[in-house]
Structure 1
Amino acid sequence: MGDHLEVFLGVVLMASTVFGISSCSFDRGIALYRFCNLTQVPQVPQTTKNLLLSFNFISNVTSMSFPFLEQLQLLELGTQFTSLTIDKEAFRNLPNLRILDLGKSEINFLHPNAFQGLPHLFELRLFGCGLSEVILRDGYFRNLESLMHLDLSKNQIHTLHLHPSFQELNSLKSIDLSFNQVTTVCESELKPLQGKTLSFFSLATNSLYIPVSVDWSKCGNPFKNMSVETLDVSDNGWSVDRIRNFSNAISGSETFSLVLAHHVMGSGFGFHNIKDPDQNTFAGLARSSVIKLDLSHGYIFSLNVRLFETLKELKLLTLAHNKINTIVEGAFYGLDRLQVLNLSYNLLGELYNFNFNGLPQVAYVDLQKNHIGIIQGQTFRFLKNLKTLDLRDNALTTINFIPSIPTIFLGGNKLVTLPNINLVTNFIQLSENRLENMANLYFLLQVPHLQILILNQNRFASCTQSFVPTENLSLEQLFLGENMLQLAWENEVCWNVFKRLSYLRVLYLDSNYLNFLPPGVFSDLTALRELYLGSNRLKVLSPGDLPANLEILDVSRNQLLSPDPNLFASLSVVDLRHNQFICMCELNIFINWLNQTNVTVFGSPADIYCVFPEPLSGIPISTISMEGCDEDEALQPLKFSLFLVFTVLLILFLVTVIIVTKFRGFCFFCYKRIQRLVFKDHPQSMDPDTYTYDAYLCFSSKDFEWVQNAFLKCLDTQYSDQNRFRLCFEERDFVPGNNHIVNIQDAIWSSRKIVCLVSRHFLRDGWCLEAFSYAQSRCISDLNSGLIMVVVGSLSQYQLMKHQSIRGFVQKQQYLRWPEDVQDVEWFLHKLSQQILQKQKEERRNSSIPLQMVATIS
């Protein structure tokens, strides 16, 4: 990766030169001379602290190359485009140099005394310089008493016979010998390092102990009497036997972190020719105080019994990127101090109750990117110190096994619904699942102590029932981006989902297809500071839509046409990029606000542009002039419009007659809407003291579904707050257990009007015909027209006259017919409502008469 970064840096710097941005300059103590085609070190001011000379053609560095630069601390001579020759005491005029970088420069000649005279040098970078083992053997690093970091990676070193002068490097902490050709390392070769404590020692990617056979009794312990915080011997192609031999060889040497990544241990999936590690593999590390062990990127298939039993002090175990499919019972016995277990990127499919036995102190278990579909209920229950469980990107369909722990990652699974379990957590991540019903969201909002809830990329779109949210005094951040809340909210349900979240500070609702915000949906969010509504379809924001204490608002990538700047006045930051602004005079106030506001408007001005009218499309609105929008000039288009209106008035009248005839239903709807808006038309008030119901709706039970959609949803108050009538019908209002005739009589005498919906089912229903007869009796008793008959379907006069109870009404009274054309339904319901509201000719008689009649009949 380092090579790619250097090439990228080179391309960027070369591009800067091509486009006229010179890199050959000095500024504030930094001399930048990359890609300057230099063949020798340039003269720089004595105040230079950093001198950067990479990507040039400098071939010789001598003691005369540098003037006396007392303040220079960093010298970069790496990646020269020619071979480099470095003479004796080449850097002696740089007494305070701390970092010397010669990496990626092919060194043709390096004098043994090249680094003399650098008492403060603490980092020396010699990676990729084509150096051999001579650099270690011949004392090139003598007298560098401050040297801490030595990078000799990516060279051509074959052996590690260290010069005795290494014993004098008392500050040395880090040695990187990775990517060389070292085949063996024995005790005698590293003897000058004995007694030292190193923070990092790397022999990675060397084919160590591979091509040769090692007599470990003669080779001894390479790290004898040494203490290494991190020992990296990864990517050496070691099998179980070589790791066992190496572990036994370094037994007793303190190695706090051992990196054995990119090994070849394990049979892999479907193979059996290479052994998985067993309890003897790491036995030699028992006295090495290993705290961290990295066994990632291998082929381990099975974790065998008591595999890590000897690693009593181990706290972090990484087994990621193997082929682990089986965890044998007792595999983790002995790891009494383990705190972090990483099993990600393996082939686990099921987890059992015994899998994690023997881990009393584990706090973090990483199981992401496996294929886990089934987990037994007690798998994690006995991990008493577990704080974080990562199960992202598996195949889970339930979470019954989840313990009460502070942090849970469950994203990228196959959860369709959540069970009703006692869940207690501070952080839960459930993004990229298949949750659809908002009942699951209400359940999660009730989780005790929950502070952060992440539900991005689910499918929340369904709300099948109303919920009463409970107060949540802990939730601070809620992520609901990339769902489909619009589908739920457009049905006027679940508008209270954010109620009682008085501590919520951050809310993400981006990419939810929202084209409106339900009234008062954010009214309870008194602590909300950040609201993200980007990538929706909002066309307008109204006063009161946003919380009063909001500080950061993202409404980018919506369809706002002409926003009210007063909505943003109290914010600190607002993102308005990529909306659909109409740059006409109505936008003048917003443009003036945008050019003068103290609110931080996120993004480039070029991202806030016009989409209409066409000549201004794509033009940043901050550059639009609105000088022609004064009052006199604004009236000119109005006068011209009035002239056109009066000119075509006659034509419009004729067209209107045709339209009204053709689209009479829609016209009637518009008429009623205009009547309510312009003339403040209010529903006529009913007398609540006289009747319990405004009307008794009598119909066959077989017609209930149609009646509900056609009448109840449009007229009954319990179906919608916008309706005006208190209707009575059998399925809801008849008292169960009462005599059916008594229920019918009570409904008739408790209602102002009786509406009989006469259909084919009605004519075949004896109870309906009986109710019709009682309704006629009530009308005769009260001497009024309280019965309204509505014929539904294609019933002829003859079919109606066949029934004696209906015949008399049809002969004397007018009745209504349900319209065949759907556009007449609105008018019909209006007509029916007027008849229900029509006052009776005479007041209702004394109730003693119908009561006597009821008593006689029953």
Structure 2
Amino acid sequence: MIMAHQLDLLVGVILMASPVLEMSPCSSDGRIALFRGCNLTQIPWVLNTTERLLLSFNAISLVVTTSFPLLERLLLLELGTQYANLTIGHEAFRNLPNLRILDLGLSRIEVLSPDAFQGLPHLLELRLFSCGLSGAVLRDGYFRNLKSLARLDLSSNRIHSLHLHSSFQELNSLINIDFSFNQILTLCEDELRPLQGKTLSFFGLKSTSLFSRVSVVWETCRNPFRGMRLETLDLSENGWTVAITGNFSNSIRGSQISSLILKYHIMGAGFGFQNIKDPDQSTFASLARSSVLELDLSHGFIFSLNSRLFETLKDLKILNLASNKINKIGDNAFYGLDSLQILNLSYNLLGELYNSNFNGLPRVAYLDLQGNHIGIIQDQTFRLLNMLQTLDLRDNALKTIGFIPSIQMVLLGGNKLAHLPHIRFTANFIELSGNRLESLSDLYFLLQAPQLQFLILNQNRLSSCKAVHATSENPSLEQLFLAENMLQLAWETGLCWDVFKGLSRLQILYLNNNYLNFLPPGIFKDLVALRVLSLSANKLIALSPGSLPANLEILDISRNQLFSPDPGLFSSLHVLDITHNEFVCDCELSTFILWLNQTNVTLLGSPADVYCMYPNSLLGGSLYDISTQDCDEEEAMASLKFSLFILCTATLTLSLIVTLIVIKFRGVCFRGYKTVRRSLFKDKAWNLEPGASRYDAYFCFSSKDFEWAQNALLKHLDVHYSSRNRLRLCFEERDFIPGENHISNIHAAVWGSRKTVCLVSRHFLKDGWCLEAFRYARNRCLSDLKSILIVVVVGSLSQYQLMRHETIRGFLQKQQYLRWPEDLQDVGWFLDKLSGCILKEEKGKKKRSSSIRLQSITTVS
């Protein structure tokens, strides 16, 4: 019976309280009449087909029978929150025979006729909260004949007594009554006698000061809920002490209450006080025959859980002790709770847990201990919890987890774990976010858990990979969260590139906020089932072809530094977030811009979030507004083809002859050129611009190449070696400050010189300090948006050997570099060319046209 009424009420609420369709205010569409906040002083006329009439936030002061026409289809009437005192007359709603919900809440009712609600045989819910009503509304039979009434809300009124009219006995459908936030100081058996024999799903007495401000003679008051069955009894926020709670438990002895809510109480000594008692074995003893399934004692001051505190609650399945001041769990505190399934001890003051703390809980499946200060847990603390499935220890102070039992879900986020002991994990859900894990060894270890499906390691410090780890085939892992770590530091060493090997069922992977500036080759090759990948908020400049999984559907690569992404990478996607990147809007981006305006992929974010960062003339402009018209190379070059053919033909023969002469006698030619130039410009000194850098160039080379570099380069270029030289050079052996941090010396050298010259030899590629200086120079290139890095390859280094090094690969793919000549007759020419490259200043950028369009950029060899 009660379930049928609950279903009717639920259906009514869903139908009546669904969102109002987009309608003009103060209008009606025949089914819904929307007149909220329309300054009405009386009920408006509406069509007889109206199903919902919404009249809140007006100034209607009178409701009588003639206020409504006959509205046989009306199901919901909303008259709450009127700005005028409301008078409701005799049978005011008789013309609404099929009304299901009547809402008068937050309207001050000045006059209410005892017959106001007559003629509503199908009314399911009556909302009278905050209407200023007194206890007379209960005593004088205002709700008689409401045979379908299931929910009555009288909270926040001026009711001081619950003496119910005998007509409540006839309300056979009534299952939900709320008297919360009234001032009901006592409640005795005679007052609720008309409800005896009924089953109620909810009875609310929250914040009524019940029994807390008066002296009660419990023997004469007796059990107010005698003969009733209550699914939920809410007695929270009444300021009950242990004595009041114990007396009340005695008075309702035998009454059937499935869920008893006593949260926001004042039971317990709290921390540092002794004047208020903690509950003891007798406090809840009288609830033994009440069949209590759920007991909520949260938000109080309980300091100690005394022995056998809940001994009589044999049927209890849920116990909520959260947000108290619990610091001590006595021996056998949970003795007798043979049926308990959920125990919530979160947000207390527990510091240590001992082997005996949870004795007597054979059926607990969920144990919530989050938000305490637990730092030590004995190894056998959870040994007797044979049915435990979820252990929540988040936000504590644990440094080791040797106590973890064999369970399905382990929540350990927000602790102080720096490494993981090699214990046997059987969980399918492990949460370790917000700890201090650094070594990827812990990740490899966790991936060996055979049943693991969900692994969360966000907000750790994963950055170290000091050894090669054996990968494991994990066929069960489906979701892996590694956000907000430092994987870049591990991967840039060339190690741990196989960390995702064998994760054939992984579907979701989060790698955002990991400082990644590259993706190791083939890092995702084994993730054949991956559907969702987040690379957001990293430092990725480019994505290599084939770097993404073939079956990927959702990709978040927002907030990186992508310049010109290849649209072919996104062919398999359904959803893409590429917002807030640093796009370089030149002709290389034209293919991506065309794809952006034509693709069927769902692009997240607004067009304004996909913008140019370079050149300055297009800074902040949306890629959707950029024209690629000027990037059609065929059209731009058509008029030049014939002229270029004639010019090339005429100069080809002469060029071949001159080239052969220069190649054969290039040493002699260069010496002659130098002689002529010195004779012509012998009186002209090389003048630096005002505000120039301290050095013309910083020469970076391995210390093992110093002797060669000095004889081959420095003696012929540096002014300190010869007055005939014209360059002020900086190099480590002479100019670095002894005792200063080496990184600081490198930083000062790179940023204090106009150019940086890297002499890349075999020794250079093995020297970590040289590679670090190379990175600093590249960073300055990106910062100044000009080329200040000159690379000179020395020795017989092949292109393959150079491209093996991730540090310089990106530079060599996009920039030119110099090679030390193999023929001695080319050395003089090479030194002159190198000097020119060092002293050469970047030319200023040409002004862009006023219309927003891409400009073709030509690379000068």
Partner of residue 367, structure 1: 369
Asked if 1 retains the 8 angstrom alpha-carbon contact of 2:104 and 2:128, the reply is: yes
Question: How far does residue 220 in structure 1 lie from its aligned partner after superposition?
Answer: 1.1
Matches within 5 A, 1:215-294: 215-294=217-296
Pick the aligned partner of 1:156 from 150, 158, 183.
158
Secondary structure of 1:64 counterpart = helix
Partner of residue 622, structure 1: 624
Question: How far does residue 212 in structure 1 lie from its aligned partner after superposition?
Answer: 1.7
1:183-221 Cα deviation digits (max 9, x unpaired): 000000000000000000011101111222111111111
Distance 1:382 1:496 in 2: 40
Please tell me whether Structure 1 or Structure 2 has the larger radius of gyration of its CA atoms: 1
Distance 2:700 2:305 in 1: 74
Partner of residue 187, structure 1: 189
Question: How far does residue 423 in structure 1 lie from its aligned partner after superposition?
Answer: 1.4
Q: Percent identity?
A: 64
Alpha carbons of 1:362 and 1:572: their partners in 2 closer, same or farther (altered >3 Å)? same
1:537-588 Cα deviation digits (max 9, x unpaired): 1111121110011111111111112211111121111111111222333222
Asked if 2 retains the 8 angstrom alpha-carbon contact of 1:664 and 1:824, the reply is: no
Asked if 1 retains the 8 angstrom alpha-carbon contact of 2:701 and 2:764, the reply is: no
Partner of residue 510, structure 1: 512
Partner of residue 607, structure 1: 609
Aligned residue type for 1:219 = C
Aligned residue type for 2:385 = L
Aligned residue type for 1:430 = L
Secondary structure of 1:81 counterpart = coil
Partner of residue 851, structure 2: none
Asked if 1 retains the 8 angstrom alpha-carbon contact of 2:30 and 2:47, the reply is: no
Pick the aligned partner of 2:124 from 109, 122, 125.
122
Question: How far does residue 618 in structure 1 lie from its aligned partner after superposition?
Answer: 2.5
1:239-277 Cα deviation digits (max 9, x unpaired): 001100000111111000000111111000000001000
Distance 1:638 1:284 in 2: 102
Secondary structure of 1:628 counterpart = helix
Distance 1:442 1:66 in 2: 73
Secondary structure of 1:95 counterpart = coil
How many residues align? The count is 663
Aligned residue type for 1:146 = S
Asked if 2 retains the 8 angstrom alpha-carbon contact of 1:665 and 1:824, the reply is: no
Partner of residue 341, structure 2: 339
Moved more, 122-131 or 78-87: 78-87
Aligned residue type for 1:180 = N
Partner of residue 133, structure 1: 135
Question: How far does residue 614 in structure 1 lie from its aligned partner after superposition?
Answer: 2.7
Asked if 2 retains the 8 angstrom alpha-carbon contact of 1:295 and 1:318, the reply is: yes
Distance 2:335 2:30 in 1: 59
- The alignment's TM-score, normalised by the length of structure 2, stands at 0.73
Aligned residue type for 2:256 = E
Pick the aligned partner of 1:543 from 535, 539, 545.
545
1:766-795 Cα deviation digits (max 9, x unpaired): xxxxxxxxxxxxxxxxxxxxxxxxxxxxxx
Aligned residue type for 1:398 = T
Matches within 5 A, 1:396-545: 396-545=398-547
Partner of residue 376, structure 1: 378
Partner of residue 180, structure 2: 178
Aligned residue type for 1:618 = G
Partner of residue 66, structure 1: 68
Aligned residue type for 1:213 = S
Distance 1:57 1:24 in 2: 14
- The alignment's TM-score, normalised by the length of structure 1, stands at 0.73
Secondary structure of 1:258 counterpart = strand
Question: How far does residue 445 in structure 1 lie from its aligned partner after superposition?
Answer: 0.8
Secondary structure of 1:487 counterpart = helix
Alpha carbons of 1:170 and 1:828: their partners in 2 closer, same or farther (altered >3 Å)? same
Distance 1:384 1:716 in 2: 61
1:685-728 Cα deviation digits (max 9, x unpaired): xxxxxxxxxxxxxxxxxxxxxxxxxxxx95799999xxxxxxxx
Secondary structure of 1:75 counterpart = strand
Moved more, 522-531 or 607-616: 607-616
Matches within 5 A, 1:525-604: 525-604=527-606
Matches within 5 A, 1:672-821: 714=762
Secondary structure of 1:263 counterpart = coil
Secondary structure of 1:51 counterpart = strand
Alpha carbons of 1:92 and 1:411: their partners in 2 closer, same or farther (altered >3 Å)? same
RMSD (Å), alpha carbons: 3.4
Distance 1:637 1:198 in 2: 90
Asked if 2 retains the 8 angstrom alpha-carbon contact of 1:347 and 1:371, the reply is: yes
Asked if 2 retains the 8 angstrom alpha-carbon contact of 1:427 and 1:450, the reply is: yes
1:651-700 Cα deviation digits (max 9, x unpaired): 9x9999x9999677689x9xxxxxxxxxxxxxxxxxxxxxxxxxxxxxxx
1:77-136 Cα deviation digits (max 9, x unpaired): 111122111111111121111111111111111111111111111111111111110111
Partner of residue 208, structure 1: 210
Alpha carbons of 1:47 and 1:609: their partners in 2 closer, same or farther (altered >3 Å)? farther
Alpha carbons of 1:661 and 1:30: their partners in 2 closer, same or farther (altered >3 Å)? closer
> 1:196 and 2:195 equivalent?
no
Distance 1:346 1:638 in 2: 81
Aligned residue type for 1:583 = C
Matches within 5 A, 1:47-126: 47-126=49-128
Secondary structure of 1:257 counterpart = strand
Distance 2:55 2:27 in 1: 11
Question: How far does residue 22 in structure 1 lie from its aligned partner after superposition?
Answer: 5.1
- Relative contact order, CA 8 A, sep 6+: which one is greater? 2
1:786-814 Cα deviation digits (max 9, x unpaired): xxxxxxxxxxxxxxxxxxxxxxxxxxxxx
Question: How far does residue 443 in structure 1 lie from its aligned partner after superposition?
Answer: 0.7
Secondary structure of 1:242 counterpart = helix
Secondary structure of 2:588 counterpart = helix
Aligned residue type for 1:143 = N
Question: How far does residue 65 in structure 1 lie from its aligned partner after superposition?
Answer: 1.7
Question: How far does residue 498 in structure 1 lie from its aligned partner after superposition?
Answer: 0.6
Pick the aligned partner of 2:44 from 30, 38, 42.
42
Secondary structure of 1:588 counterpart = helix
Asked if 2 retains the 8 angstrom alpha-carbon contact of 1:665 and 1:825, the reply is: no
Partner of residue 329, structure 2: 327
Asked if 1 retains the 8 angstrom alpha-carbon contact of 2:762 and 2:797, the reply is: no
Asked if 2 retains the 8 angstrom alpha-carbon contact of 1:58 and 1:80, the reply is: yes
Question: How far does residue 621 in structure 1 lie from its aligned partner after superposition?
Answer: 1.8
Distance 1:28 1:38 in 2: 19
Distance 1:74 1:421 in 2: 60
Asked if 1 retains the 8 angstrom alpha-carbon contact of 2:410 and 2:427, the reply is: yes
Distance 1:538 1:520 in 2: 16
Moved more, 277-286 or 590-599: 590-599
Distance 2:354 2:292 in 1: 28
Distance 2:482 2:265 in 1: 42
Alpha carbons of 1:131 and 1:637: their partners in 2 closer, same or farther (altered >3 Å)? farther
Question: How far does residue 589 in structure 1 lie from its aligned partner after superposition?
Answer: 1.8
1:750-778 Cα deviation digits (max 9, x unpaired): xxxxxxxxxxxxxxxxxxxxxxxxxxxxx
Asked if 2 retains the 8 angstrom alpha-carbon contact of 1:70 and 1:93, the reply is: yes
Aligned residue type for 2:287 = L
Partner of residue 747, structure 1: none
